[in-house]
Amino acid sequence: MRKFAQHGPKATQLEERAATALTKYGFKCTLSDKFAHYDIELAKDGKHFGIAEVKGRDIEWGFHPTIHVSEKKLLRCLEKADELKGCFLFVVVCLSGIYVAHLTSPKVADLERKVGGRKDRDLAADIETLVDIPTRCFTRI
């Protein structure tokens, strides 16, 4: 696994927590480098299985009916998963546990969009189109 130098310590800790949880389901997890469009490469039974993107949310699960994420980020991850001929798992690490959703292009195409984003950094680029993923799409791991 990569060291903390690639991403900030908090992001890397979230990715390592997610990778540890996924290994309990038989996955071999390799953390990607900071230039990849995803966080974890997944293998199972010695073969490429897919990729995972990990996001942290400082909320209790169920506090909001959806989890929102950058549409651009999701589309890049789906494109990369297709290119690698694997699946795409979206993982959320929150205060009450770790949750995973298997997302596909058709499923994402049907989800609601809105404009929003981070306001804590005061960057115009942080305001963008977001996809609202219903919490019912996730499974606790």
CATH number of 9-140: 3.40.1350.10
- To the question of pTM greater than 0.85 for the whole model, the response is yes
The residue-averaged pLDDT of 35-58 equals 93
What are 111-132's pLDDT values in tens digits?
999 998 777 677 777 788 999 9
What are 2-34's pLDDT values in tens digits?
433 344 555 688 999 999 999 999 999 999 887
* pLDDT of the residue at 3: 38
Give the residue with greater pLDDT, 136 vs 12. Answer: 136
How many Å apart are CA 131 and CA 104, to the nearest integer?
13
